[in-house]
Amino acid sequence: MFCDLGPLPNLTLPVALAVVGTAAGYWVEKQIRLRIRRRRLMKQGFSPSDLTSKDRAFKKLGEILVAKIPQRISFNEVDSHSWSEPAKYEQAKAAFESLGFQRSSSFVASPQEWVVEFWLGPRPQLWAKIIDSRERGVYSEVSVTNSDGTTNSFENTEECGLQHREKDKWVHCGLVAPAQLVERALREWPAGCGEPMKLAECLSAYEQSVNEYLAWRRSVGISADEMKRTLELRKKRRSRA
């Protein structure tokens, strides 16, 4: 039985059949969608046992994503880039200029292909980036490279749901302005003495930090709880869009 329609005292037989037919159609359509989704998941690497519970499905999804993490990210300089959100980029650009940052070169990350434009800071160890990615769009990131070579970055994005490595932190500060990112970065990691960082130093620090994070993520994996939280947060962001 597809659903309990209850008594139908005011419906003629054709109308009642139409209602039942509609309910049956929805049920069949739902079953077809579920089967199609199941086949797609199987093609992506899920087994029937992985789909017996949400926890097992989340765990398997985390394993599949970890297996796709590249061994290493490299950065190649590009002459120009068409920003996915031009207005948002212009706002970030104007903000960094007003804060005394100097615009430098742009690079594309390979093989994942996100774009990063470097901004050299007015103080030692302080630098910034404007990033364009498929998942997050255009956002800003302010970084401080410490004397031990570790880099701590503060970005105006919302929580992603994944844990972060303690040595090199990426802190989600929410949808705030670049000026607030600078304040947060200097409050937690005050810039030291010396000359402002050069582009080559910023690029090297960013590349090292990214690749060390990828190696750490491959070693620890992605737990079912992390995967569940990530998908919940993504769904909330899409519902607000």
- The 10 Å Cβ neighbour count of residue 101 is 23
pLDDT at 59 over 80: yes
- The 10 Å Cβ neighbour count of residue 184 is 16
Distance between CA 36 and CA 6 in Å, rounded? 31
Reduced to 3 states (helix: H, G, I; strand: E, B; else coil), residue 97 is: helix
pLDDT tens digit string along 115-139?
A: 999 999 999 899 999 999 988 899 9
Instruction: Please give the model's pTM, rounded to 2 decimal places.
Output: 0.78
Token representation of residue 57: 């499905």
pLDDT tens digit string along 145-171?
A: 887 778 889 999 988 888 887 755 778
212 burial type by CB count under 10 A (0-12 exposed, 13-18 middle, 19+ buried): middle
Of the two residues 180 and 14, the one the predictor is more confident about is: 180
pLDDT of residue 240: 77
pLDDT at 91 over 70: yes
Token representation of residue 185: 């970065």
